[in-house]
Amino acid sequence: MMSARSLRLAAILSATGSHIAGWRHPDCPADGSFNIARYVEEAQIAEAAKFDLVFLADNYALKQASNEELSRTSNSIAMLEPITALSAMAMVTRNIGLVATMSTTYCEPFHVARMFASLDHISGGRAGWNLVTSANPAEALNFNRDMQADHDARYARGDEFVDVVRKLWDSWDDAALVADKASGRYFRPEALSPVNHKGTHFSVRGPLNALRPPQGHPVIFQAGSSPAGIALAARSADCVFTQQRSIPTARDFYLKVKQAVAAAGRDPDTVRVLPGLVPFVGETGTEAQAKFDALQNLVDPSVGIQILTAVLGGKVDLSGFDVNGPVPEIPPSDGMSTFQANLLAEAREEGLSLRELYLRYAAGFGHWRVIGSVKEVADLIEEAFHAEAADGFAISSPMLPGSLGDFATMVVPELQRRGLFRMEYEGETLRDRLGLPRPLRVDPARG
């Protein structure tokens, strides 16, 4: 039996997996990040296990490092553009949600509204947009800028951006199309409104050249956990991706989000909080530990230092420090601020060396990690869910292929046996799966 509050599961498909050394494992095809057959296979595994959605992350630049340094990692080097990949995946899946990142800093609202409206039509109401404000400074250099805008400025633009996107989705009434061949009327003229948005960052006349999406609005995800990120999510998001590291920290964040949603005048039960989770699972704890060790042993120390330098803000080059010594003082980051704060807190609390910290980050971008038997992994998920530390998890599989299949065939049946997770898909759209209402249209001409 399903409990009243249902667990949600997202599958983060990061190419060869979220472990930085996943691609070096003998079982990992090295072309995974640009081979659509691999994405399709993983999406079908997730769909067979009744996951709510698959998610493709994205950014628009290689990290700032030498070719020699970059050449030692497969992560964010060459990957398929997510909307293109999800459109292909939509044709060979039927139920699973299809969620991709697009940046409010480097895109225009019209592009985002149009692409996700199209994906929603292509997939029959399964699209979701992960709104990010972008944190990698190198991205600015690919978009006519010398440097990235500061954190608050990025969020201010993001806030207005999402309003414009929603107005564009609402520029058509749901029942606009009549296609009356006898009278020659294709759509009801009164069903179409311009947007006429004039704000601080955007001037957009509209309307959108796509009919209103099947879901009304594709599901909106937000993945920043700073105060500005929470405020944006409270006003505009349906789901929140977040990096957490334990039940107490996740619970604290969960409460903050739900309170902020209520303060913004929305029902907190209509926003889902999904922390990332990196599971290493085996029939026994020993088997899970062996899977973890096999990947950790493949981490190239120079890559470890390089990725840690970048996520901690890039201002302190860590290659000059003793890897077995303590983590030096690092100034606050304007980029991946929450990831930086979490990693530094762990390093200080547990007295981690630089090496121990890069190994933490290497295993799935520092997301909450669980290494254990099926029972141990399911216990953690159940405890976090009942403690209201999470509405579900974004499963960040350390190695693809392999890890998602392990989770799908071992942990999901256990979650189903406990009555925590669905046996069959309910409803038609991603909103239905997530238990989220379909937004009523606000006519932009009147709203």
Question: Both tokens of residue 154?
Answer: 């990025």
| Residues 6+ away with beta carbon under 8 Å from 84 | none
Name 300's Cβ contacts closer than 8 Å, sequence gap at least 6.
21, 72, 73
Based on the shown chain and the rule CB under 6 A, indicate whether residue 243 belongs to the binding site for ligand FMN. Answer: yes
- Maximal CA-CA distance, the chain: 80
How many other CB atoms are found less than 10 A from the CB of residue 149? 16
226/353 with CB nearer ligand FMN: 226
- Nearest of 216, 127, 247 to residue 442 by alpha carbon: 216
Q: How many positions of this chain bind ligand FMN (CB under 6 A)?
A: 24
List b or e across 98-126, with b for residues whose CB sees 16 or more CB atoms inside 10 angstroms.
bbbbbbbbbbebbebbbbbbbbbbbbebb
Q: Report yes or no: 326 and 318 within 8 Å, Cβ to Cβ.
A: no
Site for ligand FMN in 8-47 (CB under 6 A): none
194 vs 174: CA distance, rounded Å: 15
Q: Which listed residue (22, 224, 304, 366) binds ligand FMN by CB under 6 A?
A: 224
Under rule CB under 6 A, residue 51 binds ligand FMN: no
Which CB atom, from 138 or from 176, has the smaller least distance to ligand FMN? 138
Q: How far apart are CA 291 and CA 277, in angstroms?
A: 16
Candidates 208-216, 224-232, 408-416, 431-439; binding stretch for ligand FMN (CB under 6 A): 224-232
Cβ-closest position to ligand FMN: 224
Report the nearest approach of ligand FMN to the CB of residue 284 (Å). 29
The only residue of 47, 52, 58, 159 in contact with ligand FMN, by rule CB under 6 A: 58
When asked if residue 280 is in the footprint of ligand FMN (CB under 6 A), the reply is no
Backbone angles phi and psi of 242, in degrees to 5:
-150, 155
Question: Kindly report the CA angle at 240 between 62 and 372, in degrees rounded to 5?
Answer: 80
CB of 346 to ligand FMN, least distance (A): 16
Torsion (CA) 209, 214, 219, 220 in degrees, nearest 10: 20
* 104 is an interface residue for ligand FMN by CB under 6 A: no
Helices (H) and strands (E) in the chain, counts: 15, 13
Stretch that binds ligand FMN, among 44-52, 171-179, 220-228, 255-263 (CB under 6 A): 220-228
Rounded to whole angstroms, the Cα distance separating 446 from 231 reads 26
Residue among 197 and 367 whose Cβ is closer to ligand FMN: 367
Instruction: Name the minimum Å distance from CB 192 to ligand FMN.
Output: 33
Our finding on whether 409 is near ligand FMN (CB under 6 A) is: no
Half-sphere exposure of residue 72, counting CA atoms within 13 Å on the CB side?
A: 14
Q: How far is CA 178 from the centre of its chain?
A: 37
Minimum distance from residue 152 beta carbon to ligand FMN (Å)? 10
What would the x/- binding string for ligand FMN be over residues 358 to 397, using CB under 6 A?
Answer: ------------------------------------x---
Candidates 57-65, 286-294, 300-308, 380-388: pick the segment binding ligand FMN (CB under 6 A).
57-65
User: At residue 388, what is the residue type?
Assistant: E
Stretch that binds ligand FMN, among 219-227, 307-315, 380-388, 417-425 (CB under 6 A): 219-227
Contact 154, 148 (CB under 8 A): yes
Q: Token match 């057959």: residue? A: 37
> Which of 336, 354, 390, 408 touches ligand FMN by CB under 6 A?
336
Which of the 8 DSSP states describes residue 370? E
Stretch that binds ligand FMN, among 125-133, 173-181, 195-203, 343-351 (CB under 6 A): 125-133
Q: Does 242 bind ligand FMN (CB under 6 A)?
A: yes
Stretches 173-181, 210-218, 222-230, 381-389: which one binds ligand FMN (CB under 6 A)? 222-230
Scanning the structure block, which residue is given the tokens 């898909």?
425
Q: For tokens 């249902």, name the residue.
A: 6
Q: For ligand FMN, which residue of 104, 338, 342, 373 counts as binding (CB under 6 A)? A: 338
Binding site for ligand FMN (CB under 6 A): 57-59, 101, 130, 132-135, 223-226, 228-229, 241-243, 276, 336-339, 394
